[in-house]
Amino acid sequence: MPSYDVTVDDSSPMVIYSDGWIDSNFTTAPSTSYFGGTRHITGLKNANATLSFYGNGISVYGTRGTGYGSFSVLLDGQNQSASTSSSGNDSQQFQQLLFSKSDFVVSAHTVTIINDGNGDLDLDYVVFAAGNGDPTVEAMNITVDDSSSQISYSPRSAWRSVENATYFDNSLRVSNTNGSEATFSFLGDAVSVYGTTGPDHGIFSVQMDNQSPMLLNASASESHTQTLLFFIGGLRHGQHTIKITNKENATFGLDVIGVSSWSSPVQFPSSFKHLSTANIPVIAGVLSGACVIIFWSIAAFLWLRRRRRRKICLRSTADRPEETVKKAADFIVPPDPAIVEGLYEPGYHLFKDKKEQAKARRTHSSGQRSQAEKHDPPSRVESYRDAHETEEEVAKEGERPSSENTNS
């Protein structure tokens, strides 16, 4: 929550006066000496003025000089140090600080200034600090003129528009009908309403959301324009609706509505007029910087992950045991010593087994053929096979004696 000041002129209905005060609206000198050209003055003992506000600081301004006396201040019912508005200087000193206190709890408070009766007390304006006093956070303030479609008037026939240079944007919405209403919905944290006060004005009520309405009095002995009719702070950030109701058949003038927001960026309609947009470039710069940081963070993460995977692959390859490559010599079977010494020919034992198997097959085949020849003549395939096998056996039998003779 930021720190911002709310100025309440002495002519505001937010300041409640007891009997004995004189309202002054200067149209000539010394009008420039007073804030807004107005003041309230009293010489009556125990005459007081009370202001309720939401914040954590308060300052009261008035006039000092000869003829002004002492006064007392109550803050939330507690006596503060007494002070005096008298001065050794005969000339008047305008817009002087009469009382100030700050850095108390941010909440709803009430301040009362009381005339001690030994001189005059002049009240010019009051400033209270809304927020928590953090100057590093800037509020976004917008204004909504009475002519905006965002404000709903009912019944429409009870409201009329008045143009004058003393009004905000030269326009004022006025109603003299008891029960006429002006409703406004907004997204923000605080709201203020400005209008007019004067002799022909009367009682009006303000209702925020579903809370109980509060009554205020716009009646004044002098006419005032662009006056703060009321301020409501300490709202929960979000959507709110305020309803203003004229409670008498007297004049009520609505000039402009102000909305303050600091919790998050807010999208306002085009009819809204921004009073402070200096934070927009800052927000854009912060968002751009955040996007750049996020982009490079992701890129660095992907690069590190890829590098880590490469290291893991290289480490696993280095730790893998080296495979033993066998040579062709490992698969060579040593020769049979009997063959080396010439006792047998290479493959003798293999051929011997084969010959015995072939001889057995011939014996078996001869028996079958002898039986078959009695019935069917041998086929050409069988005759060819038998003849071929016989030739091979004869050739092999012929080679064996020669080998044996050679060995002998």
The predicted structure's pLDDT at residue 358: 60
- Architecture category of domain 138-277 in CATH: Sandwich (2.60)
Domain ranges of the chain: 1-135, 138-277, 279-318, 335-376
Q: pLDDT digits over 200-247, tens only?
A: 999 999 999 999 999 999 999 999 999 999 999 888 889 999 999 999
Q: What pLDDT is stored for residue 335 in this prediction? A: 60
Rounded distance between C-alpha atoms, residue 403 and residue 395, angstroms:
13
Q: From CA 137, how far away is CA 260, in angstroms rounded? A: 12
Residue 242 near residue 183, CB atoms below 8 Å:
yes
pLDDT band of residue 403 (cuts 50, 70, 90) is very low
| Angle between helical axes of 348-373 and 380-407 (0-180°, round to 10) | 140
For residues 53-75, one letter each, b for 16 or more C-beta atoms within 10 angstroms of the residue's C-beta and e for the rest, the string is: bbbbbbbbbbbbbeebbbbbbee
What pLDDT sits at residue 237?
85
Q: What is the pLDDT of residues 307-355, one digit of tens each?
A: 776 666 555 555 555 545 445 444 455 565 655 566 555 555 555 555 5
pTM given for the model: 0.62
- Residue 278 is predicted with a pLDDT of 41
Distance of alpha carbon 155 from alpha carbon 244, whole angstroms: 13
Closest CA to 258 of 3, 7, 2, 1: 7
pLDDT at 271 over 70: no
Mean pLDDT, the chain, rounded, equals 78
**Dist. CA 37–CA 29, nearest whole Å:** 9
Strands (E), 275-369: none
Q: Selecting from 2.60.120.260, 2.60.40.2580, 3.60.40.10, 3.40.50.2300, what CATH number does the domain 1-135 have?
A: 2.60.120.260
% of the chain surpassing 70 pLDDT:
62
- Give the mean pLDDT of 290-295: 66
Encoding tokens for residue 362?
């011939």
User: Nearest Cα to 211, choosing from 234, 229, 188, 194?
Assistant: 234
Q: Is pLDDT above 50 for 255?
A: yes
pLDDT bucket at 280, cuts 50 / 70 / 90:
very low
Do the domains 138-277 and 1-135 match in fold? yes
One DSSP character per residue, 254-297 reads: EEEEEEEE-SS-----TT-EES--THHHHHHHHHHHHHHHHHHH
Backbone angles phi, psi at 290, to 5 degrees: -65, -40
* pLDDT at residue 407, rounded to an integer: 45
